[in-house]
Structures are given as C-alpha cells and as structure tokens.
Chain A
Amino acid sequence: MTTAAPAATTAKAATQNACKLCNPLGACLAFRGIEKCVPFLHGSQGCATYIRRYLISHYKEPIDIASSNFNEETAVFGGSHNLKLGLKNVTQQYRPEVIGIATTCLSETIGDDVPMILREYAAMMGSEGPMPTMIFASTPSYSGTHIDGFHAAVLSAVRTLAEEGPKRNLVNIFPGMVSPADIRYLKEILNAFGIPFVLLPDYSQTLDGGPWAEYHRIPPGGTPTSAIATTGSAAESIEFGSTLEAGKSAAGYLEAKFGVPRHHLPLPIGIKSSDRFFAALEQLTGKPMPEIYEDERRRLVDAYADGHKYVFGQRAILYGEEDLVIPMAAFLREIGVLPVLCASGGKSGLMKKRLLELVPDMEELGIKVREGLDFVDIEKEADELQPDLLIGNSKGFAMSKRHQLPLIRIGFPIHDRFGGQRLHHLGYRGTQELFDRIVNTVIEQRQNASPIGYTYM
C-alpha cells in the first residue's frame, strides 16, 4: 500500500456554494432513527426550523425537532433555564422515551455545560416519575460537517444505553448515513442470514413510512432503546464508513468498552465492497450467502457485462460525503468509469489514503482526490477535467446546468427529484440500481444527441 499525502484542499478563505451541511443536522437525522425519540437542538429556534425544512425536502416526511429557543438574554446568561423548560414541555406533549439533544454553534460558543444541566434537570424532576432517556451529542457547527454530527449522535446513543452482558448471538450494524431504502435492504439481508441484529440508527420507517391510521406524536419505527442496550453484548459490530475513526464511532466505543470486535468496512457499493460485506456475514454466521443474494450478484455481473460498452471510458466527477465518494469511486472503476475528481466538503485528512486502499492504481490513472472543497472549486476543476458525468447530490445542479452535464443523483440531499429516500446504493441490489441509472443516463445523452431518432442505442 502506498502512503499518500493528504488530499489537497481549497485555496480560498471563504466557502462559495458549500458541499457540506452543518454538524447538528446529522445528529437530528440519527436521532430520528431511535424509537420514540424527539430530537432537540440547544440553541436558536432557527436552527431547528432550517434543519427540519431541509431534511423534510429530501425525505418528504414530517420531522419534528424541538429547540430551547435562545433569546438575547439566554445568549448572554446561558441556556440552562430554556433547556430545562424545553425538555419539560417536550416530555409533556410528546411523551417520548428518548430526547436526543444536540448543541449548536450558539450554545457551544457560550460554553453551556449540557451534561451538567441534564444532571440538574434529572435531580429536579426526580420525584415526578420516569423521565425520558437523555442522549446528548456535542455538535458545534463550526467544526466538521453533518457527518460528524451523525456519528456523534450514534456514538452518544450507544454510550448512554449500551450495557455489558454475556456475549450473545447478535450483530450490531452501524451503517452510517444511508437511505431508508438502504436500511430496509440491510435488514432484509441480516434476516436472510438468520442472525439477530441491532441496526442503529434505523430511520427506514420514521423517514419513509405510510399514512397514519391514527395520530402519532412521534412517527412509528426506529431502533428501540432496549435493543441499543444489548449492543454491549453483541458478538461483533459491523460499521461502514471509510474515514470513520474508531475513536469517534459507536463500534469503536463498544470494542474499547465491552470488547465487541469492530469490523470496519467501506459502504458496500460495487461488487468488491459488497462481497466484503457478505463475506463478513458469512464468516460471522458460518452460513453461506443466501441464494437470493447469489442471484442478485449474478444478475449484477451479467449487467456489467451487458452494459460495459456504454459506460467504459466515461469520465465522472464524484462529490459528496467522503464515506460515500470513496466506495463509489471504487465501484466506478469496476465498471470502467474514470472518476477524474473525487471531491468532498468534508476534511478528514484520510480520503486519499482510504481511496488508495480500494483503488491502488488511483495515481497512475490520474484520479484527483480533494477534500474541503466547495462547488466553485469543483466547477473550476470541471473546466479543466472535462467530465462526461456528474455524480452526487442535488446541489450539483447549477454546475450541471452551466456545463451541460448530466447529473446522476445519489446520497443526500436530493430535493429536485422525487423519491430520494427510496434510492438504493448498497449491496448488489443498490449497485444494480446505480449501474442501471448510470448506463441509462449515458444512453439518454446519446439518444438525444443523435440526429436520427434511434430507439435502439
């Protein structure tokens, strides 16, 4: 393995058209995947409102996020009173089992000691019967991105709830920020292997559910707290996320604290990465891959063979969260697409290193990897790199329009197309879907450009 210098970042002081969202958004999303949990932002109400409207535009599901509604006085004297009052009101109205509290830049700047305030609140409410479990994540928006907030919330949930116990036949699965459809697929796979599992966070239903036959203060679904408690006695944790370091991760915590081995994998996108995931499950359960997935894999290989002529040699710019971009780049190499630029607004310092592990000939191929970029930087690169395709979230649309390049939408946020929450990315099934979409995008381009109205392309 070659060791590499960290990826080059932006030369600008300011950010123009960001390719990242803020820390508390990720935490709110993760909290939505815990059963009977109300996310709560300690800060100004605007943060809760903006993050709600943003998440809702992608998931098209209701998302309630409470807030401690800072005012000028709170900003100067501290948010203790507001936080306690807010928790009390949320408890009374929503009857949650969990309140997931995340900070904002405001409460972090003034230095509110939230754990201390929570202890005071518990003491104050002690006599008034059972209280919701409080899960707290520190998520200052001035550091990291939405992904850091997401992992901080998952880690905090495990840290708060996981208990020690005799090892059992159980696997923890921490998929990271994937789509509700991806989560459903992962659950289906684990069920097919017949191994009990705890998947955290599970917003497959809370953020992609059906109509309500009755009123729900909190939408049904999510990982139950009782299940999170058992993560400490699992046989193993499988955790996706190429740049996610053990010290910041739930699986890393469980390994250090309870000796639950952490099996760290890139997101299973593409055949090779999916094979690694299925192999991990085979090893863990001692069972062969269920026939249905063997079938999916065979169909996918067959599709690669049938579709390669369309996509081979296409040049793509790939952008988004580092942990999505890295395995996506490896998948694109499998199908002969050259990811000329792998860009992220995130800045882990690990992106190039992790990508090299999956694409060892990356440098010979001239694949550029750049962290901490914004869309103005990416567009500048596009001028030089002359890509055929853009692959990433909806925020690349302006670039795609200006450069007249097709945009294949993946990840988050997707708010200019319908059904972003139902897109598959993972496993053979997700890879199949991605492959079909990429091939069809190329075919559509050619067909539209053809002077004759060919229907066979």
Chain B
Amino acid sequence: MEAKIHLPDPSLIKEELINRYPAKVAKKRSKSIVINDPETIPEVQANVRTVPGIITQRGCSYAGCKGVVLGPTRDIVNITHGPIGCSFYSWLTRRNQTRPENPTDANYITYCFSTDMQEENIVFGGEKKLKQAIQEAYDLFHPKAIAIFSTCPVGLIGDDVHAASREMKEKLGDCNVFGFSCEGYRGVSQSAGHHIANNGVFKHMVGNNNTPAEGKFKLNLLGEYNIGGDAFEIERLFEKCGITLVASFSGNSTVGAIENSHMADLNVILCHRSINYMGDMMETKYGIPWMKVNFVGAESSAKSLRKIAEYFGDAGLKARVEEVIAEEMPKVKAIVDEIRPRTEGKTAMLFVGGSRAHHYQDLFTELGMTTVAAGYEFAHRDDYEGREVLPNIKIDADSKNIEELKVTADPVLYNPRKSEAELEELKAKGLEINGYEGMMKQMASKSLVIDDVSHYESEKLIELYKPDIFCAGIKEKYVVQKMGVPLKQLHSYDYGGPYTGFEGAVNFYKDIDRMVNNPVWKLIKAPWEKENTEALEASYGA
C-alpha cells in the first residue's frame, strides 16, 4: 500500500514520545512503542503493569469481569461486594443493550446492586452483609442466577465470596449463586477480569443444560457485548442466512442460553482478547472449534459470513450467504460511493480496547482512510502479533496470579465437531480456526503500534501526526477535541451505533463523515497551526 500522504518519520516520533520520561520509564515504554513491519512483525511489549504516575486509560480487573463480560446478560443479578463506588461507576455505563423476548421477562441490566460496605464491614468482615444482600436480591426478583463481584478490600479483609455464594445457593435452592475474585488490584488491567469472568462462566454456567439445541447450523457468538445494538445487527444477519445463534457471550444473552451453549457446533470469536479462554476451554471439554471473525466493516462482515458457511460446508448455506451479501451490499456501496470522496486520503489513529483498534481499521479502509498509528489499551502480545507467539510469552507475576483452569475432555459430552483433517482443510482455505493473526499483519509498514498509550503520549502523537480523526474513549475525547481533532468513541460509540454488519457500516461511514468534515473544526485553531514541525516530515510508504 502506497501512502498518498506525507507522514512524520516514525523513529523520530518514537524518540519524541519518550524523551520526557525518566530514563528507566523511557526504557520500559520504548519496548511498547514499535514501528510496524507486517512481514517480520516486531515484538511489542504488552500486558505489563502501568508504571505508577503514568496516567493510563486502563481499567481494573473488576471492570473487565463485571462490567465487560457478565454485565450484558440480562437475567443475572450482579451484586458488587464492596464500597459503593465500583458498582455505581459500572452502572449501565457500557451501553450494553438487551431485548427481552417478552416485556415481562427478567431484565436486571438497569439495576445496580452493591453491599455498600461500611467501615464496620471492613473491620469485622462483610460476609454477613453479602449474604443479606443476596437474600434481598432473591426476594425481590427470584432470579435464575446471582453473581458476586469482589472489589479491592474484599480479598484483603478475607471475605470468602465463594463460600458465601455456595451457602446461599444451597439455601435458596432454585438460584445459581457464584462469586468472582476480581479485586481491582489483580492483574495489570481489565484483561485479568476477562479471564476471571471466563473461568467463572465456564465453571458455573456452561454445560448446565444438555437439551440439544435446535437448528442445522448452530453457533455461539463470543466476545460481542451488544454495545449500541451491535449484536442485534449480527443476529439479523444470522437469521437471514439461516444460522442458529445458540448463545452469545454476552451481548443480549440470557442465563438459559449460556447454560446450553455447549450444544452449538462452532464458536465464532469477535473480541479475541476478552473471550479466547472460553473458546479454548469449550474446544477442550466439548470438542467445539472456535474461529476468529470480524463483523466490523461491510467487507469483513461478508467475509465472516462466508467463513461460517465454509465451516459448515453446506452448499445451501453457502448459496444463501451469497444471496444475503448480494442483497445487503448495494445499500452499503451507494453510501460509500457518496461519502468516500470526502474521506479519501484522510488519516486515523486508534487507541482502544483489546480488539477494536484492529477491527475498526477495516471500516476506515472502506472509507479510503489510513490508520497511521494504533494500539490497544489492555491486549496481550497475541492480539498484536498473532497467536503463534503464545508459547513465547513470558509469564510474569501478574499473569501467574490469574487462575488457569485445568480443563479436560468431558467423558460424555466431548464430541469433536470436525476431525483433525477437516480442520486442516478449513485452515488451508484461510479460516482462522482456533487461531488469530493479530493486528499488526494488517497494518502498513512504518505505522506506529503503541501499547497502553499514556495520556501524555496521545497528546504528543496528535501534535506530531495531526490526524483527521482519533478513536479512543471518553477519557481521551475532550482533550483531543480541545486540540481541534474529532474523537470517535469506540467504547460507547458517542451514544450511536450499531457499527457491525452492513447496517452498522453505513452508520459508521455517516458518523465519520459528519465528524471529519464538520465545519465546527474550522473554528478551533489546532496548536500546530502556528508551529512548524517540518523537521519531522519524512517520506513514507511500503
């Protein structure tokens, strides 16, 4: 790909980013700031602890566990065990949508339960209050499941949320109660919480209901949290193609569906970072292969549907998928043709998530825009470099503290959906079966890849690159816009969306057009408009 635009020399930029840091910090940060080469894929230091005082955009283990993975399931009552803040801050803040089948069906997503620990609970222990809270939630709703989430002080004062959960589960009889040790100080980011959540959901929910699922092409959708209605668009496409969605982990999901999910024949993974553990564990225990897909971007959606059809290997399904794509694409193309002349040649930066910084590049490509720098907030090396690096990832103290479940094949339910030979054949056709190539392979040579970008670094990057759009979250939004650059929130979508599938792609194109071509930016003089940064210019391309 030949970049048509002049971009700064990445090595000078890297230098510029780290020269303000104390020597030790600079050395550490320089390993996380990498100049990409899609051919050789350099190593990126990722999933290492943020240095104290370097303001990070990362969250905590509790946020990953309760907020991300468990939050979107509508009929679990989630109780936060701790002081009030954590539950308040995770109360509907992720914009997960859900659609109960009937208006009277359980939906606790708008509720925020907390044990609201007080000083006496810290001193004398909070288990009694926790059990009362479980009882109160049960009396109020009679839910199918109650999940307990530990916040920082819980582990330290020695409250055993697991024992309390077991006791209450037994006492209540018809309610599945289980706990998560997701104290905020565990692990280096929300990523630890994802892993803890995967373990808990796998142990306490998956496999509880062995009723065979109906349908010919049955799959689970993993790592899709229905922010802004993303899952609804994917569900629409599955339905149109005749693909049965058994369970979603966990956008628009229910306890019942997750308990029955091991009856599906394929797991498709969107956000590899947050849910790959589940894919692996279900593969080992039940013989269900997983496959990486991406429903962000119209082309990517079409490709993903084709991959699913290829996996099931059914001529009828393949034909139907082609029909659906042929039906959906013209609407998308009409909009792209209209918008692209206004977005072509513009540049974007994406610093977000554990998969979004990768997936959203496809949408920008469809608009003719170049991603000049990207990075994740809480991903691991495999999300950057591909899963081939997994054996080489150094296990540090932080990762060791997160339990690795020992999973074995289920003596009764293990049933390999595809033989080894069939899987090899599918891989040869380009399907990412039990694998993920990572983000860097797709990115241009000499683009910058930065893990856990700090507040300071992102400001510097904007100054040096002058991108047309910056994608991140609410914490970055207003500082970036102060500098005259629009920021697209890719966690909350600026309260828009959906952005998946074909309809989502159209929404995104329109939103980006509105943002990068908005007259309001002409009123804001960007800092560089009075500076001369010619010295950093260099020719660029691969």
Contact = CB atoms under 8 A, between A and B. Distances in A.
A36 to B, nearest CB: 16
Contacts of A25: 85
A17 B156 contact: no
A87 B53 contact: yes
Given A89-B53, A93-B54, A18 B111 contact: no
A215 to B, nearest CB: 6
A89 B114 CA distance: 35
A212 B482 contact: yes
A86 B53 contact: yes
Query: Which of A62, A87, A398 has its CB near the most chain B CB atoms (within 10 A)?
Result: A62
Interface string B179-191: 0000111101110
A231 interface: no
B483 A22 contact: no
A22 B51 contact: no
A75 interface: yes
A15 B482 contact: no
Nearest to B479: A62
B136 A109 contact: no
Contact of B474 (A46, A56, A83): A56
Nearest to A95: B20
Given A86-B53, A93-B20, A17 B112 contact: yes
Contact of A56 (B62, B136, B186, B478): B478
Given A25-B85, A398-B110, A143 B60 contact: no
Nearest to A21: B88
Interface stretch (B8-16, B89-97, B231-239, B277-285): B89-97
A53 B114 CA distance: 20
Interface string B47-67: 001111111111111110000
Query: Which of A47, A50, A56, A213 has its CB near the most chain B CB atoms (within 10 A)?
Result: A50
A15 B114 contact: yes
Interface stretch (B117-125, B417-425, B532-540): B117-125
A63 B118 CA distance: 28
Given A56-B477, A72-B186, A106-B184, A14 B463 contact: no
B50 A45 contact: yes
A44 B115 contact: no
A46 B111 contact: no
A60 interface: yes
B326 interface: no
B490 to A, nearest CB: 14
A73 B397 contact: yes
A18 B87 contact: yes
Contacts, number: 237
Contacts of A441: none
A15 B52 contact: no
A17 B478 contact: no
A212 B529 CA distance: 12
B401 interface: yes
Contacts of A257: none
A13 interface: yes
Query: Which of A40, A64, A87, A93 has its CB near the most chain B CB atoms (within 10 A)?
Result: A93
Interface in A1-57: 12-18, 20-25, 40, 43-54, 56-57
Contacts of B476: 62
A167 to B, nearest CB: 40
Query: Which of B54, B185, B476 has its CB near the most chain A CB atoms (within 10 A)?
Result: B185
Contact of B136 (A12, A57, A93, A211): A12
Given A17-B112, A85-B52, A71 B185 contact: yes
Nearest to A93: B456
Contacts of A63: 475
A14 B146 CA distance: 14
A14 B60 contact: no
Contacts of B183: 75
Contacts of B152: 43-44, 70, 75, 104-106, 109
A219 to B, nearest CB: 8
A447 interface: no
Query: Which of B59, B111, B133 has its CB near the most chain A CB atoms (within 10 A)?
Result: B59
A109 B116 contact: no
Interface stretch (B76-84, B254-262, B308-316, B426-434): B76-84
A296 interface: no
Contact of B55 (A50, A66, A75): A66
Contacts of A57: 93, 474
Interface in B143-160: 151-153, 155-157
B25 interface: yes
B185 A105 contact: no
Contacts of B86: 22, 46, 50
A66 B329 CA distance: 46
B202 interface: no
A20 B84 contact: yes
Contacts of B121: 142
A18 B55 CA distance: 28
A61 interface: yes
B139 to A, nearest CB: 10
A92 B21 contact: yes
A88 interface: yes
B309 to A, nearest CB: 40
Contact of B475 (A14, A56, A73, A74): A56
A147 to B, nearest CB: 13
A69 B184 CA distance: 10
A109 B53 contact: no
A49 B60 contact: yes
A133 interface: no
B129 interface: yes
A70 B185 contact: yes
Interface in B515-537: 524-525, 527, 530
B112 A215 contact: no
Contact of A68 (B52, B91, B133, B157): B52
A105 B114 CA distance: 15
Given A14-B132, A67-B52, A215 B398 contact: no
A49 B59 contact: yes
B84 A15 contact: yes
A40 B117 CA distance: 23
A205 interface: no
A204 interface: no
B459 interface: yes
B339 interface: no
B137 interface: yes
A177 interface: no
A17 B111 contact: yes
A375 to B, nearest CB: 9
A89 B52 contact: yes
Interface in A143-190: 143, 145
B91 A17 contact: yes
A14 B525 contact: no
B265 to A, nearest CB: 38
Nearest to A38: B55
Contacts of B57: 49
Contacts of A137: none
B113 A72 contact: no
A90 interface: yes
Given A15-B116, A110-B156, 9 more contacts: A15-B115, A21-B85, A50-B86, A53-B474, A61-B478, A69-B49, A89-B52, A142-B122, A398-B110
Interface of B: 20-22, 25, 49-63, 79, 82-91, 93, 110-119, 121-122, 129, 132-133, 136-137, 140, 151-153, 155-157, 183-186, 188-190, 397-398, 401, 455-456, 459, 463, 473-479, 481-484, 524-525, 527, 530
Kindly list the 3 A-B residue pairs having the minimum CB-CB distance in the complex, ordered from nearest: A46-B60, A22-B85, A89-B53
13 contacts: A13-B115, A18-B88, A43-B184, A49-B475, A56-B477, A56-B478, A62-B478, A71-B49, A89-B54, A105-B152, A106-B184, A142-B122, A214-B527
